[in-house]
Chains A and B, each alone.
Chain A
């Protein structure tokens, strides 16, 4: 067991896959000499050269499309979009093309491509650079969307995503790059897609989250544990495929469900899960399903306003306490 940062875990996964399979290559803005805008690819350009760590101009539509065309030939491109906000200019390539090619050509060809990109907010990056848009993609058949929340998952899911024969949107989080965690020593360690994890057991309330919000959820659980309230935290890990069964099993045990996410809750991950929990756990619930997300405003710049817009621990805790109060606890 070794301690690594989330960033180092991602880099190690990319490094290991580049070394393992000559058909894997990286592509994106500033990922070479510049080492990546968030330094995830540092050292890889020197190690593997400009063919396999391919620097691109600011042409997201162009190089996401180029990734698709290379993947259709059987290569395994890992395309970096500097932040998830910029994927919007390549939306046509992702949704109209990557997600649909296998189906509309009758299974004749697939797109084994990974798009990796960080989302999230909290560094005063403002409205155009602070979004969590993964739910938009998770709603699209043909896509797979994952959002690891731990160092081990960052490594294990990146390897799985690169080896997957379908397009995978791999959502990282700006705030998580420096988070430290433990990595299994097994060099063949991978994490399957479509499997959520119960990262903390509890009996009173199920708190579902993904990406950095899992870290917040765990802190909320720690805090409330001091008052004798035991929260079960489910890390979704993968949004599509979604592991609704693990969520339902937990809610059947706790009888209460709260979904927290950094993106906007309306039409979001919480909305989808609430609908499923309602169907799966109708007779088990002691309170209506609750959701908490980012404030439904474009992200403001000023620090007090930004903090007010984020789903901070205090906001998640308030939602949890409200839910418990509704059902007669605390």
Chain B
């Protein structure tokens, strides 16, 4: 593990940056804890994957993005959305399936998105968003824009064919993209050592003549420095890179998994001692950047912010069932194109007025 003293000098902090990073990690932590609680109260359905413990890997990399850069993430994306600046109330509303959610209740936990902030989604099929992110990098290159893509995914995605195809395409086409493995060491309950013939995942980069690098993913400054450096190279030199950030999820794979069958209590305890937020708070205290009362104030502020988000989301309306068919297609002519398809269609698909209960 990197110690604070080993942090490269160019990441030395000013107070505003320290506060911004700490506050965002604290917001995610509190948001996820309350999300877990909301799930147990049955306000959230479906799958729900928490990122508690992984805050530094998410926040450090996203903090390195510049205006116009694009971001992709896996389904463990609540923290991603918060880190790009999506409104916590709109994120919570999406988890509640409300019309005011970031995807108007159509996507849920795994499909958060914020196109205005260039966050192109949480994705539900492991590894499959890597080629898509590569295509977005291709579009940046095609249009000769000075930006790059950050594509985050878990260690499990490294074993998919998509990983290989995406990195290969990015390599042969010189695309501006940084692939970030948020290695929390388990794909569901299967460890990296079980899954990978080369558990040093960053070494896969060599197969594509790409720069690969592994860093401590629980050190927000190290993540920010590495992501910033590699994104700069991607932007300026059109060279893709693979960044592995080693972290740990304190919870199970999803809220339905206690996370205790496939790993030991000792292991979990060891990683709790490396809690990225506690560590960063200590560092900021040591450097005199944040006083304890300021840290306490942040925790109190984010708790209030998350509570307000929950209250607002609870008060929001569910989508109207009459909007069920919206957004399947988007071409201006789609209704006209499909106007002759109602004929003889199955019950419910003939444009009938809904007389049945939903």
Interface residues of A (CB under 8 A from B): 25, 51, 56-57, 59, 61-75, 77, 92-93, 96-97, 101-110, 141-142, 144, 164-166, 192-196, 238, 240-246, 248, 275-280
Contacts and interface: CB of A to CB of B under 8 A. Distances in A.
Contacts of A141: 328
Given A75-B142, A246-B340, 16 more contacts: A69-B135, A69-B137, A69-B139, A74-B139, A75-B139, A93-B131, A102-B327, A103-B328, A105-B121, A106-B101, A106-B113, A107-B106, A164-B331, A165-B329, A244-B344, A245-B343
Interface stretch (B164-172, B239-247, B250-258, B287-295): B164-172
Contacts of B70: 73
Contact of A108 (B113, B139, B172, B343): B113
Contacts, number: 189
Interface in B321-353: 326-334, 336-346
12 contacts: A62-B131, A63-B131, A66-B166, A68-B131, A68-B135, A69-B120, A92-B125, A105-B113, A106-B107, A165-B332, A166-B334, A194-B340
Question: Is the interface on chain B under 10, 10 to 19, 20 to 34, or 35 or more residues?
Answer: 35 or more
A279 B343 CA distance: 9
Contacts of A109: 113, 115, 120
A68 B132 contact: yes
Interface of B: 70, 101-107, 111, 113, 115, 120-121, 123-125, 128-140, 142-143, 161-162, 165-166, 168-169, 172, 326-334, 336-346
B333 A192 contact: yes
Contacts of A246: 340
B293 to A, nearest CB: 41
A102 B327 CA distance: 6
A157 to B, nearest CB: 12
B65 to A, nearest CB: 16
B121 A194 contact: no
Given A72-B120, A166-B334, A241-B341, A106 B131 contact: no
The interface centre, meaning the residue of B113, B120, B165, B326 with most chain A CB atoms within 10 A of its CB, is B165
Contacts of A56: 169
A65 B131 contact: yes
Contacts of A63: 131, 165, 169
Contacts of A92: 125, 128
A57 B172 contact: yes
B139 A57 contact: no
A274 to B, nearest CB: 10
A106 B128 contact: no
Contacts of B338: 194, 241
A65 B331 contact: no
